[in-house]
Amino acid sequence: MIVKVEIQRRNSASEKTRTQTFSVETDAAATVALLLECINEEQAADDPISWECSCKQKKCGACAMLINGRPRLACDARVHDYPKGVIKLAPLGKFPVVRDLTVDRSAMFDALAKLGAWLTESAGADETGTAYDASRCLQCGCCLEVCPNFYAGGEFFGAAALAPASRLISEAGTGDAQRLREAYNAHFYRGCGKSLSCKNICPAGIDTERLLVNSNAAAVWKRKMRKARGKK
């Protein structure tokens, strides 16, 4: 089958966006990531589309982009998800564009630094499964794209910070817990409008509502998630 791929392109953030359209012969099970690889090798070899890609199996978050208006990983989106045969690709809208579909997501990592997303004491055993679930966060930014409260550079850091914060709070010792609770309140709890728009968007399938409930309980109402580790 032939699909039409419309790609928003520009060489830098200051340039005006132009749309370039490609016709690609493919099969219905192909991913958008595969289409982009084909386009770059066969049709755009002289001026390849800039996009980020790494694992091609939904485990690294590199290829997040807007696909027909919705933030998704290009390696997750299949041709058969778009039965009209038209696939429109645009860069994530909440981060500065570097080139074509590549955006600068450093605001996400800066937020984690500002949050103090680390431990200074030995980790304890998380009793809730939160550490495992939250550690699966890809830092792709899809959740931030749909969040009505998040903008890059603001004081509210969104679900991309909720996940690491939840992981750390669930395992934190006494000293870290106080610091992380305060940071969580300042940069997540106070700014979150509880729209839960992040709930069904995560490519890793993280249940952000569950993280929110557990971490609010721990950070805001100081319920314990951790028990001291046994000696062995």
45 in contact with another protein (CB under 8 A): yes
> Closest distance between another protein and the C-beta of residue 97, in Å?
10
For another protein, the binding residue among 17, 21, 54, 195 (CB under 8 A) is 54
> Closest distance between another protein and the C-beta of residue 195, in Å?
25
Which alpha helices (DSSP H) does the chain contain, by range? 32-38, 106-115, 130-135, 142-146, 159-171, 174-184, 208-219
What DSSP designation does 35 have? Answer: H
* Site stretch for another protein (CB under 8 A), options 1-9, 86-94, 107-115, 150-158: 107-115
Length of the chain: 232
Binding-residue total with another protein (CB under 8 A) = 55
Specify whether the backbone of 177 is left (phi greater than 0), alpha (psi in -120 to 50) or beta. Answer: alpha
Token readout for 199 is 């709930």
169 in contact with another protein (CB under 8 A): no
**How far apart (Å, rounded) are the C-alpha atoms in residues 126 and 186?**
23
- 181-220 residues near another protein, rule: CB under 8 A: 205
**Strand bridging mode 86-90 / 2-9:** parallel
Amino acid at 79: V
230 in contact with another protein (CB under 8 A): yes
Q: Between 98 and 217, name the residue whose CB sits nearer to another protein.
A: 98
**How far apart (Å, rounded) are the C-alpha atoms in residues 51 and 64?**
9
For another protein, the binding residue among 65, 117, 180, 202 (CB under 8 A) is 117
- 1-40 residues near another protein, rule: CB under 8 A: 29-31, 33-34, 37, 40
Query: In terms of Cα–Cα distance, which of 136, 174, 159, 142 is closest to 215?
Result: 159
> Closest distance between another protein and the C-beta of residue 100, in Å?
12
* Site stretch for another protein (CB under 8 A), options 16-24, 100-108, 148-156, 182-190: 100-108
**How far apart (Å, rounded) are the C-alpha atoms in residues 112 and 109?**
5
Run of H or E residues at 86: strand 86-90
For another protein, the binding residue among 168, 211, 212, 218 (CB under 8 A) is 168
Binding site for another protein (CB under 8 A): 29-31, 33-34, 37, 40-41, 45, 52-62, 75, 78, 98, 102, 104-106, 109, 112-113, 116-120, 122-123, 125-126, 131-132, 135-139, 164, 167-168, 171, 205, 229-232
